[in-house]
């Protein structure tokens, strides 16, 4: 198995609130509430650990409320390489209704000073240069905190790539556009997040395929575009592939995208056949939506979910990024 470094520049404590339906301006009664250490990179780490990989988690945490993170990392069995900074890590509220609709109320995050970011970069350089600590892949996931710009993240990607490290990115907005320009190894946007970059709604398969081919042509080795029940598109040197997930009763979509990224990276690192890798990742992401949290590959019916996941090859992709 591989050693993977996940970077969460703006992690959060997730306050997940389950309720029948959100009534604005009224008192709402909840079914459950749960406060957990989260952030997209932390969720990716959870999945990778469950699949047997050695994982190091890094980024920035507020020193004043890192207790839940410390306990979570110990329980997960990952190396905690987060840099502590003054202040509190943000708390994000996720209101999950029975219909499957999730309303996110996200804080901006703790401000990162230039000196702290420089120290973080120096530590990454030292890790990359040390064969005993050098990761086989890096995942940068989530939003950016105050003090770190989209250009800073792009420079971070370029720095890691210059050291010969595979880098996968999952972010949105201007940070996604800048990340794509820095040509990471892989990106995993959903169709809504990628639409601004593509310049049009990605509301059907031909448009998503065209966007995936553009990503691949720009130098991104693995372009992974998720579109909910419409499935997952994967464009790489292995060809253009599409997976349709099994029909699921959606309880929460929180963690499904992180599960997809982690499971696809797992398949790539382990050298699995393309159809098997995409089927596994899509099915595991589907498993995640029926409960709060990331996908569980040990679920009793997971083999059935894989069987119900339809994978088809669209065609070959040539070096120029067009269908052969």
Q: Answer whether residue 272 shows pLDDT above 60.
A: yes
Each residue of 36-72: pLDDT tens digit?
999 999 999 999 999 999 999 999 999 999 999 999 9
For the chain, give the percent of residues with pLDDT over 70: 97
Q: Is the sign of the CA dihedral 62, 166, 309, 212 positive or negative? A: positive
* pTM beyond 0.85: yes
Q: Is the sign of the CA dihedral 257, 272, 314, 186 positive or negative? A: positive
Asked if 1-184 and 187-324 have one fold, the answer is yes
Mean pLDDT of 8-21: 93
Topology classification of domain 187-324: 3.40.1190
Mean pLDDT of the chain: 94
Q: Which class in CATH covers the domain with range 1-184?
A: alpha beta
**By the 8 A CB rule, do 124 and 160 touch?**
yes
Tell me which residues are annotated as active site: 258
d(CA 103, CA 97): 8
Pairing of strands 54-62, 137-141: unpaired
316 falls in which pLDDT band (50, 70, 90)? low
Query: Residue 315: its pLDDT value, please?
Result: 80
Torsion of CA 35, 41, 46, 52, to 10 degrees: -170
250 falls in which pLDDT band (50, 70, 90)? confident
d(CA 269, CA 292): 27
Helix 150-162 crosses helix 174-181 at what angle (to 10 degrees)? 30
Q: Please name the residue ranges forming H helices in 130-162.
A: 150-162
214 falls in which pLDDT band (50, 70, 90)? very high
Mean pLDDT of 297-314: 96
Question: What does the block give as tokens for 250?
Answer: 């959606």
d(CA 263, CA 305): 15
Which of 49, 75, 77, 45 is CA-nearest to residue 58? 45
Q: Answer whether residue 323 shows pLDDT above 80.
A: no
Please name every residue paired with 241 in a beta bridge, in sequence order, or none if there are none.
Answer: 234, 313
Q: Answer whether residue 207 shows pLDDT above 70.
A: yes
Backbone region of residue 239 per phi and psi (left: phi > 0; alpha: psi in -120 to 50; beta: other values): left
Backbone region of residue 71 per phi and psi (left: phi > 0; alpha: psi in -120 to 50; beta: other values): alpha
Each residue of 274-301: pLDDT tens digit?
999 999 999 999 999 998 789 999 999 9
Ordered by start, the domain boundaries in the chain are 1-184, 187-324
Each residue of 110-132: pLDDT tens digit?
999 999 999 999 999 999 999 99
């Amino acid at each position: 198995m591989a050693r993977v470094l996940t970077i969460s520049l703006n992690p959060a404590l997730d306050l997940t609130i389950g309720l029948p339906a959100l009534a604005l301006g009224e008192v709402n009664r909840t079914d459950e509430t749960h406060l957990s250490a989260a952030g997209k990179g932390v969720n990716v780490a959870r999945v990778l650990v469950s699949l047997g990989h050695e994982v190091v988690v890094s980024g920035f945490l507020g020193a004043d409320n890192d207790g839940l993170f410390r306990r979570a990392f110990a329980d997960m069995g990952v190396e905690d390489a987060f840099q502590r900074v003054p202040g509190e890590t943000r708390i994000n509220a996720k209101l999950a209704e029975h219909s499957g609709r999730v309303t996110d109320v996200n804080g901006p995050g703790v401000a990162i000073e230039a000196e702290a970011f420089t120290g973080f970069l120096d530590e990454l350089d030292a890790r990359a240069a040390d064969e005993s600590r050098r990761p086989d892949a890096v995942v940068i996931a989530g939003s950016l905190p105050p003090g770190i710009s989209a250009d800073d993240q792009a420079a971070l990607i370029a720095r890691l790539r210059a050291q010969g490290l595979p880098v996968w990115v999952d972010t949105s907005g201007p940070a996604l556009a800048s990340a794509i320009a820095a040509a990471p190894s892989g990106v995993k946007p959903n169709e809504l997040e990628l639409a601004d970059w593509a310049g049009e709604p990605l509301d059907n398969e031909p448009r998503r395929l065209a966007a995936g081919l553009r990503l691949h042509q720009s130098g991104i080795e693995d372009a992974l575009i998720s579109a909910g029940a419409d499935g997952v598109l994967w464009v790489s040197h292995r060809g253009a592939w599409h997976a349709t997930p099994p029909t699921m009763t959606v309880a929460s979509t929180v963690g499904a995208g992180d599960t997809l990224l982690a499971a696809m990276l797992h398949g790539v690192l382990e050298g699995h056949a393309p159809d098997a890798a995409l089927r596994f990742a899509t099915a595991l992401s589907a498993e995640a939506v029926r409960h709060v949290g990331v996908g569980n590959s040990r679920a009793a019916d997971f083999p059935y979910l894989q069987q119900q996941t339809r994978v088809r090859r669209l065609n070959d992709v040539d070096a120029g990024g067009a269908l052969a």
